[in-house]
Amino acid sequence: MDYTIDTSDNCATVKIQGVLTFDDHEKFKGVVQSISTEQAEEIVINLAETKMIDSAGIGMLLLANDKAMKAGKTVKLAGVSGHVAKVVELSKIDQLIPVI
C-alpha cells in the first residue's frame, strides 16, 4: 500500500492506494501516527483506490479509529467500493466507523 494525507480546514483525508493487508503493518503505523499528530479533528480514510483488504487490514482501520477516538477525533470511511465494500458489508464495521 501507499498513502497520502491532505489537510484542509478541520479535515484530514488519508488516501490509501493498493492493497491493505498483513504486510502493510509497518507502513500503516505512519497513518496512525499522523492521526494523533494532525490538528484536524475529522479524519476521512478514503479507500477509493484500495483494491483489497484482509482481516489484518480491517484490524488496522479499527486501530486507527480507536486512536482517533481516544484523541477526541472522529474517523469516517469514504470511497468504499468493490472488494472493500463487500468486506465492509459482510463485517458490518460501518456500525463502528461511519461510511460516507
Report in angstroms how near the CB of residue 58 gets to other proteins at its nearest.
7
| Residue pair 68/34 in contact by the 8 Å Cβ criterion | no
List for the chain the helix, strand, coil content (%; round to 5): 45, 30, 25
Binding residues for other proteins restricted to 23-62, rule: CB under 8 A? 52, 54-56, 58-60, 62
Q: Between 10 and 86, whose beta carbon lies closer to other proteins?
A: 86
78 binds other proteins (CB under 8 A): no
Report in angstroms how near the CB of residue 8 gets to other proteins at its nearest.
28
Q: At what angle do helices 55-70 and 25-37 cross, to 10 degrees?
A: 20
Furthest-apart CA pair in the chain: how many Å? 33
Q: Which amino acid is at 43?
A: I
Exactly one of 5, 11, 18, 19 binds other proteins (CB under 8 A); which one?
A: 19
Dihedral angle over CA of 70, 12, 99, 25, nearest 10: -70
Report in angstroms how near the CB of residue 91 gets to other proteins at its nearest.
4
Exactly one of 4, 36, 81, 91 binds other proteins (CB under 8 A); which one?
A: 91
Exactly one of 63, 74, 78, 99 binds other proteins (CB under 8 A); which one?
A: 63
